[in-house]
Amino acid sequence: MRITYFGVRGSCPCSSDQQRRYGGNTSCVLVEVAGEPPLILDLGTGLRSLGNYLNVSLQAAGIPLEANVFLTHLHYDHVLGLPFFSPMRDPGAVLEIYGPSQEGPEGESLHDAMAGMVKPPFFPIHMADFRGELSFHDLGDGDDVTLGSIKVKVRAVPHIGHTLGFRVEADGRSVAYISDHQAPVDRQTVDRGVMDLCDGADVVIHDAQYTEDEFVLFSDWGHSTPAYAVHVASVAGARKLHLFHHDPAHVDKEIDQILHQSRRMASKLPLSEVIASAEGMSFDLGAE
């Protein structure tokens, strides 16, 4: 199982000379398992670069894309890349999107909610005008999915709006993906669903948007601190932690400092490694 980061920011994309090393695109992660279609976690602005990456092998082989997407929630930073995903310009492309059902008095489906974002006046064309085929699958808490040799555990995660977290299992390895997670005020208790996803995982990719000082100001904005991410991964018995969903205001040096502090904290715990996710970073779990 190979994991590659194409977008690691939260809230909105950012770009400056001080944000080059970690990158400025929003949430988008590629999971590659031998013999299986690509599995994509979230559709943030990093999806544009991911499309370019996939096109190289698709065009060389002369075949259209077939891929699966697991979407945590529908905030802009997790869906904005969809209209710019170049493989969907191919009439033969198929993208299966699994994401949170949209609860409410109107009972809107995931398909209808997404179609409402990709249409004039917000975008020049309708989602239905894409040449490739989009297929949507509504998920709720506990609606686990098996795709060939890949198993995806699905759990509700505390955030603003209906939000899911995922645990991807393949080749005897496991990755927990919790991009947006409302930490409790005490930053000690851990939601049961989150624990279920992270339990003994090889890698936990976890929201680490706010510093402790920032969390005091934004404690109800739906996110976690790096210290809480370390706590979650540690109590769940995970091997490694990847800090994710970096705040767009944080420059590279600030993330370096956050990483240093997190590693110092983790050095007293069973966690074997803490890293700060960065665009272009790729790691093979099977080789570890």
Cα Dmax for the chain: 54
Residue type, 67: A
DSSP-based three-state secondary structure for 3 = strand
Contact yes or no for 279/28 (Cβ under 8 A): no
- Distance of alpha carbon 170 from alpha carbon 155, whole angstroms: 18
Contact yes or no for 111/136 (Cβ under 8 A): yes
- Distance of alpha carbon 253 from alpha carbon 276, whole angstroms: 12
Give the containing element (helix H, strand E) for 205: strand 203-207
User: Within 10 Å of residue 255's Cβ, how many Cβ atoms?
Assistant: 22
Per-residue pLDDT of the chain (288 residues; tens, 9 = 90+): 999 999 999 999 999 999 999 999 999 999 999 999 999 999 999 999 999 999 999 999 999 999 999 999 999 999 999 999 999 999 999 999 999 998 665 667 899 999 999 999 999 999 999 999 999 999 999 999 999 999 999 999 999 999 999 999 999 999 999 999 999 988 889 999 999 999 999 999 999 999 999 999 999 999 999 999 999 999 999 999 999 999 999 999 999 999 999 999 999 898 999 999 999 999 999 755
- Statement: 2-281 belongs to CATH 3.60.15.10: yes
- Distance of alpha carbon 112 from alpha carbon 117, whole angstroms: 9
Domain map (residue ranges) of the chain: 2-281
Contact yes or no for 12/76 (Cβ under 8 A): yes
Contact yes or no for 6/47 (Cβ under 8 A): yes
- Distance of alpha carbon 66 from alpha carbon 88, whole angstroms: 10
Distances (CA, A) of 77 to 36, 43, 225, 236: 27, 8, 19, 27
The whole-model pTM stands at 0.96
The predicted structure's pLDDT at residue 105: 57
The predicted structure's pLDDT at residue 98: 98
Contacts of 254 (CB under 8 A, 6+ apart): none
Contact yes or no for 80/26 (Cβ under 8 A): yes
Rg (CA), the chain: 18
The predicted structure's pLDDT at residue 287: 53
